[in-house]
Amino acid sequence: MRPYLSVIIPAYNESENISRGTLQNVLDYLEKQRYTWEVIVVNDGSSDDTLDLLKKFKDIQIINNTHQGKASTVLTGGLAAKGEVILFTDMDQATPISEIEKFFDKLDSGSDIVIGSRSGRKGAPLFRQVLAYGNVILRTIILRLPFGDTQCGFKALKAAAAMKIFTLMRKLRPVVTIEGPAVDPGFDVELLYLGRKFGYKINEVTVDWHHQETRRVRFFYDMISGIFGLLTVRWRSIINAYKVNVD
């Protein structure tokens, strides 16, 4: 039987979060719902005991990747998902799984993609807020994306939209094993750019969000990385890389 909701959770060295109960909280919430669901956790080549901890959970599907970074990890889970709606969320649950309830009306009324928006980003350090607001300005200028928050790690796509977008993104982002932490700010931007390009209806919904400091911010590195991600999407559009037939 096809589940209604697929929940994709990337996991890279998530021992601390799993140990404090974030994954169990996701499962506890889903078990109370009337709809069918599946949880796919993609282990991104963790070097701690993340994989051993994941194996203790009976109600999840585990995909064990080499270390490829969050973007590739989400694509792996999304392409393996079987649900009518595919949600990806973070293991730290900065946005709680229960916020999916705010998406259902939009999905039922015709939206193909619904994204969470972290209103105000309360609790985030000033330098993170500066990066966020700078990104809003640049992505509006470079890509004309009309969204307040493209980077929130809480997004849901209907299956047809997810498969078309993720399949094309996988072709443009082949699997490469890497070393060390890797955040690709261009991933979310490209996903939404393609969603608009393909004519999907996208809605942005304000979600509850609590800052979780999961990695050390490198201000200038992250700033350059964000700009590079935006320019990469623009360049791919110019050279017609997004006209690949994925139907």
Number of H helices, E strands in the chain: 9, 7
DSSP 8-state code for residue 121: T
Residues with pLDDT less than 70, the chain: 120-136, 181-183, 211-221, 244-247
Q: What is the pLDDT of residues 10-35, one digit of tens each?
A: 999 999 999 999 999 999 999 999 99
CA neighbours within 13 Å on the CB side: how many for 138? 20
List 6's β-bridge partners, or say none: 38, 86
pLDDT at 246 (0 to 100): 52
pLDDT at 243 (0 to 100): 84
Q: What is the pLDDT of residues 43-81, one digit of tens each?
A: 999 999 999 999 999 999 999 999 999 999 999 999 999
**What is the value of pTM for the model shown?**
0.89
pLDDT at 132 (0 to 100): 58
List phi, psi (to 5°) of 119. -60, 115
Bridging pattern class, strands 113-117 and 155-158? antiparallel
User: What single letter denotes the amino acid at residue 144?
Assistant: R
> Which CATH number does 5-243 carry?
3.90.550.10
Instruction: Give the separation between CA 171 and CA 80, rounded to whole angstroms.
Output: 15
Instruction: Give the separation between CA 143 and CA 138, rounded to whole angstroms.
Output: 8
Angle at which helices 70-80 and 186-197 cross, to 10°: 40
Instruction: Give the separation between CA 199 and CA 233, rounded to whole angstroms.
Output: 17
